[in-house]
A and B are shown apart, each in its own frame.
Chain A
Amino acid sequence: MTVYKYFLKIALKHKWIIISYTVIFFILSIINGSATGKTETIFMEKSLDIGVVDESNSELSISFIKYLEDDNILTTMENDKEYIQEQIFLEAIDAVIIIPKDFENLVINKKESIEIMRDERKLGSVQVENEINKFLIFANATYSDGKFDLSKVENVLDREIEVEVLKVDDYKKDNGVNTWFKYYFNYTGYIIIAIYVAVIGLLMLEINDKNIQDRMKVSSKKFFKFNMEIYLGQVTLAILITSIFILGSVLLKGKYIAEINFSKYLLNIFTFSFAILGFTFLINNLTNSRFVINGISSALSLGTAFISGVMVPQEFLADNVLRIAKFFPTYYFVKINEMNTNSFLDIKYEIFMQVLFGIFFFLIGLYFSKVKRSV
């Protein structure tokens, strides 16, 4: 097992860079989890993020803001056009409403009373416009003797219709915990490729050094055995890296593990790791250039993550995009994470595809390794 030991020795030599690289990616996944965790699928009315600039500060504007606040998330803002534009562009906020000084007069005279900035192409805009107009129509209807009957308006607006939910699937009841795990593990689909290719690539660059390769060629060690030991070394390192990310999920949300199908995530991540390890093995037998290795690590990890549904859920991606994505294991990995499974049989096809990719990559890698050795 000399080759295996040598591989681990090089890994140990570079332990700090490997640890730092893994830690940085771990930080990325935590930040990513906190940014996307809010996208829950439980049953609730969709509230809007609305920015409010109240220059009127009148009884009517205060009551109006209170009404909006009941179902939406309101943020008080300064009347800074550039800042407002940017917030809407970034979708940090759905709409911004500016209530002018002479608000009450404008409402009484049925004039344009509120300035609203929003993206007209979005359904959220329809919702906020409806709500604003409704309040003001009602308020105006109660206007008599120079006064609005705002308590009556507020009272009526509290009366809502009944909503019956036909059926809430299990995943909709999961109060966001499953969503967090889904996003977290989906994100590892990006990280595993990036780290495996870069870190194992770094170690293989040393092993593939010409002097070392020449010495290996003249040794009596069999080609297959040499490759198996290298592969075993890579497996050891890969298990360590993958375990760090599994451990990460346990540390962050360990108390919820009983509520979700954790074994599905475990089986999936290890199968995916196997597939990507095969891919890494292939890359390292194709090239000795650190630029190509790093290029592939970044371009393919990020690229496949985008088209396979890691960064944007698969349901939002076009069918032809997903058709392309099917040519890489990340698609199947994400698909399993997104599924609600009852048994292993539900995911057997996706698991099988990932294993197949792993074996395919490994065999081609073995072929190129042989070609390289015979040159």
Chain B
Amino acid sequence: MKNIWRNSLYIGKNMFRDISFSFWGLIYPIILVTFFYIAFNGLTNPKIETINLGIENGNDVASILEDIDILNVVEMSKEDAKKSLENEEIDGFVKEDLTLLVDRSGRDQTIIKSILDQIKQTVDLNEPLENLDFEVDYLKGKAQESNSILVIFYSLIAMVSTYGIFAGTEIVNLVQANLTPIGARLNVTPIRKSTFLTSGVLVGLFINILSNVLLLLFIKFVLKLDLIRSLGPSSLFILFGNLFGISLGIFIGASNKKSQSVKTMISITVTLFLSFLSGLMSPDIKVLIDSSVPLLGKINPIAIITNNLYRINLLNNTNNLSSGILLLIAYSLMLMFGSYIFLRRREYDSI
């Protein structure tokens, strides 16, 4: 235990002294989330805007249309309408005979058409007016905010929770005598590789969890986004994301003899690819994957973290949390076991 503590202290000091490593771990997620925030600020709160509708002077339906809340009705001539449509001052123009003039298709134009259709169809239905009760609302509405853009933020949190991957590849490099001079020196000392590795894992976890906490504090207090509303279960996923990340890092480090730069690149590619599939670059991709290859969304470790984070915090849905956590633990154990197979009983005749 004393050895683990002492080794942890040395490894920790070593890592913190390496400015570039601290940059990656601590600053990079903050830079990225700031970019996301700049791009999406404003997009996360959609508002219904009124539709500007031009109507030919003297058209009888003007009074009906004026009663509709979302419409802003302006009377004008046909000639003015063309200009107004081109200048995007109006979204559509209703002619005398109820023909709709538009210059594009879109949600606004579709709604205008749907209202005009209703006027025409009401006349065509030819039923006595007392039978047509437009005051009734047949709908029992339940509001559910849609905000798929937020998936990008959760996916980013999930991605950086696995960034212990870099510490993992570094640590395992340090214990391999054929890869680093420190590894060679360590191998001739009485320090047990397993003790050193355990220390490395602890330090890696500590640094990355610290970085995750900083990121969450930055999101909450600087960007003022309320993404983590239920801290307990969310932390569980972030913690196990860390465990998975560092295990994957150790596996990448132990499974091949490539240079450290190549291993870093592999680590980035793997985490980026899994995050991409979980919606890091666009929620549409997550939706596409969920509908076309649903299994992939269920077994992708970063998607497991992303999905559970938004379910817990935005949808108050805490069902099936344990299956996600168990899967993350299973991945971590498998990766650690794989790394053990690669690392055990390595002896060198000469280095």
Contact = CB atoms under 8 A, between A and B. Distances in A.
A286 to B, nearest CB: 12
A86 B28 contact: no
B102 interface: yes
A354 to B, nearest CB: 20
A114 B140 CA distance: 6
B232 interface: no
Interface stretch (B118-126, B180-188, B222-230): B118-126
Contact of A127 (B20, B114, B137): B114
A14 B273 CA distance: 20
A318 B317 CA distance: 33
Given A35-B285, A90-B283, A312-B43, A290 B317 contact: no
Interface stretch (B1-9, B127-135, B198-206, B323-331): B127-135
Which of B35, B120, B276, B310 has the most chain A CB atoms inside 10 A of its CB? B35
Interface size of B as a range: 35 or more
Given A82-B319, A89-B148, A321-B39, A46 B110 contact: yes
Contact of B114 (A91, A130, A291, A316): A130
A122 B145 CA distance: 9
Contacts of A305: 281
Given A45-B113, A152-B125, A82 B317 contact: yes
A164 B101 contact: yes
Contacts of A118: 141-144
B39 A307 contact: yes
Interface string A170-185: 0010000000000000
B21 interface: yes
Interface string A296-332: 0111001111110001100011100100100000000
Interface string B81-121: 01001100000000001111111111111110111111011
A162 B99 CA distance: 5
Interface residues of A, number: 100
B350 interface: no
A120 B143 contact: yes
B261 interface: yes
Nearest to B292: A34
B14 interface: no
Nearest to B315: A85
Interface string B226-262: 0000000000000000000000000000000010111
Given A120-B141, A136-B138, A302-B281, A318 B42 contact: yes
Given A127-B107, A133-B139, A14 B117 contact: no
Contact of B125 (A90, A138, A166, A298): A138
Contacts of B45: 121
B46 A122 contact: yes
B136 to A, nearest CB: 5
B41 interface: yes
Contact of B137 (A42, A92, A133, A142): A133
Nearest to B93: A166
B138 A43 contact: no
Interface of A: 14, 17, 20-21, 24, 28, 31-32, 34-36, 41-46, 82, 84-86, 88-92, 106-107, 110-124, 126-127, 129-134, 136-138, 140-142, 152-153, 156-157, 159-168, 172, 190, 198, 202, 205-206, 287, 289-292, 294-295, 297-299, 302-307, 311-312, 316-318, 321, 324
